[in-house]
């Protein structure tokens, strides 16, 4: 590996080569003429080749100087375009953002927030990936996702995790379900009907089953679904009961399409969290999105739905 050329010397050389005049180059650079000469001499020593023919007060490029000048033009153009790109990112005129979400967050919490964010920053391209909690955690740990927003708690040595939004899982059934006529609803009466749950890897599933363990109850008939929306449609169709996030039913509950039990022991509190990789430098787009969510968290919170129960 040869000697490393100094960028400032290359920049000075490019100005002299463009002007073919030390004095004018010095004026362009706001430097003294002797300082320019010293930088050119230092660069020639580093390269080991003369860069200019000096005849009296006139100068011209040597073969080495011509080759270097052409390369310098490319280098300076790249530096300028890179600086412009960095300035653009600072001003958030462009950029990209990949958000990984659990099903409930991606389907029912973030869509309106992302729409509002992109209206403020139309140059930022936002992509949202929805998967089971464990899959999203794996992707953000591997650096494939910029920011994860999912139910927790989240435990990881490689992730920075912060609380985002409170949530509650409530027992949900169709409005005409036989259980709605029960005077004293119990888990024994619930056990007459299928319990609809998410597949393995979902935090909603884990929270629900852990709640059953704490109550000392095991449902006798469990049906698994890939998505929360599929469970909700099955519940609406009277095919069973389920514990769903209040965010997932914020439209159907107030309209009376669903009957919701959100009192103990049919209520499971939990929270959503934001998680990012500790080893990755967050881009301006990611930082701006996190700031936006923090500032607008009140708008994301559920309105008081309890009056509809």
Identify each DSSP E strand in 62-158 by its residue range: 95-101, 124-130, 147-152
Residue 86: per-residue pLDDT: 67
What's the pLDDT band for 40 if we cut at 50, 70, 90? very high
Say if residues 146 and 97 touch (Cβ distance below 8 Å). yes
At residue 243, the 3 state secondary structure works out as strand
107-153 pLDDT per residue, tens: 998 998 999 999 989 989 999 999 888 888 889 999 899 999 988 88
Strand partners, 167: 270
Sign of CA dihedral 225, 228, 230, 233: positive
pLDDT for residue 265 is more than 90: yes
What's the pLDDT band for 307 if we cut at 50, 70, 90? very low
Residue 208: per-residue pLDDT: 92
92-110 pLDDT per residue, tens: 777 889 999 988 899 998 9
Q: Looking at residue 107, what DSSP letter applies?
A: I
51-74 pLDDT per residue, tens: 999 888 899 999 999 999 999 999
- Verdict on whether the full-model pTM lies above 0.75: no
CATH of 166-270, one of 3.40.50.300, 3.40.50.720, 3.90.1170.50, 3.40.190.10: 3.40.190.10
CATH 1.10.101.10 correct for 7-89: no
195-198/147-152 β-pairing? unpaired
Confirm whether 95-164+271-308 and 166-270 share one CATH topology: yes
Tokens of 16: 């002299």
Q: Tell me how far apart the alpha carbons of residues 232 and 150 are, in angstroms, rounded to a whole number.
A: 19
Q: Determine the angle formed by the axes of helices 7-19 and 22-29, rounding to 10 degrees.
A: 130
At residue 28, the 3 state secondary structure works out as helix
Residue 1: per-residue pLDDT: 56
Q: How far is CA 246 from CA 10, 62, 272, 307, in A?
A: 63, 76, 13, 13
Q: What is the mean pLDDT of the chain?
A: 88
Q: Looking at residue 241, what DSSP letter applies?
A: B
Q: Tell me how far apart the alpha carbons of residues 109 and 131 are, in angstroms, rounded to a whole number.
A: 15
Assign a CATH topology to domain 95-164+271-308: D-Maltodextrin-Binding Protein; domain 2 (3.40.190)
What's the pLDDT band for 154 if we cut at 50, 70, 90? confident
Tokens of 172: 């949900």
Residue 308: per-residue pLDDT: 47
Q: Which residues touch 306 (CB under 8 Å, ≥6 apart)? A: 262
Q: How far is CA 254 from CA 159, 175, 260, 305, in A?
A: 37, 12, 10, 7
């Amino acid at each position: 590996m040869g000697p490393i050329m100094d960028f400032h010397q290359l920049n000075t050389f490019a100005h002299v080569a463009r002007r073919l005049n030390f004095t004018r180059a010095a004026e362009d650079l706001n430097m003294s003429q002797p300082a320019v000469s010293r930088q050119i001499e230092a660069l020639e020593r580093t390269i080991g080749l003369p860069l200019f023919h000096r005849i009296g007060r006139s100068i011209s490029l040597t073969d080495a100087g011509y080759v270097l000048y052409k390369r310098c033009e490319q280098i300076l153009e790249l530096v300028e375009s890179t600086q412009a790109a960095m300035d653009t990112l600072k001003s958030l005129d462009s950029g990209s953002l990949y958000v990984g979400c659990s099903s409930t967050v991606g389907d029912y919490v973030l869509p309106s927030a992302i729409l509002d964010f992109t209206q403020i920053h139309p140059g930022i391209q936002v992509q949202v990936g929805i998967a089971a909690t464990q899959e999203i955690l794996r992707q953000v740990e591997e650096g494939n996702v910029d920011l994860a927003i999912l139910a927790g708690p989240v435990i990881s040595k490689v992730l920075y995790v912060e609380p985002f939004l409170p949530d509650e899982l409530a027992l949900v059934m169709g409005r005409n379900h036989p259980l709605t006529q029960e005077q004293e609803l119990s888990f024994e009466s619930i056990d007459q009907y299928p319990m609809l749950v998410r597949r393995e890897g979902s935090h909603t599933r884990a929270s629900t089953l852990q709640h059953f363990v704490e109550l000392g109850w095991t449902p006798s008939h469990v049906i698994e679904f890939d998505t929360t929306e599929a469970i909700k449609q099955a519940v609406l169709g009277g095919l069973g009961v389920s514990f769903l996030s209040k965010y997932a039913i914020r439209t159907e509950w107030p309209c009376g399409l669903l009957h919701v039990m959100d009192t103990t022991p049919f209520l499971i509190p939990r929270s959503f969290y934001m998680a990012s990789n500790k080893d990755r430098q967050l881009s301006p787009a990611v930082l701006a999105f996190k700031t936006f969510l923090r500032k607008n968290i009140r708008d994301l919170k559920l309105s008081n739905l309890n009056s509809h129960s």
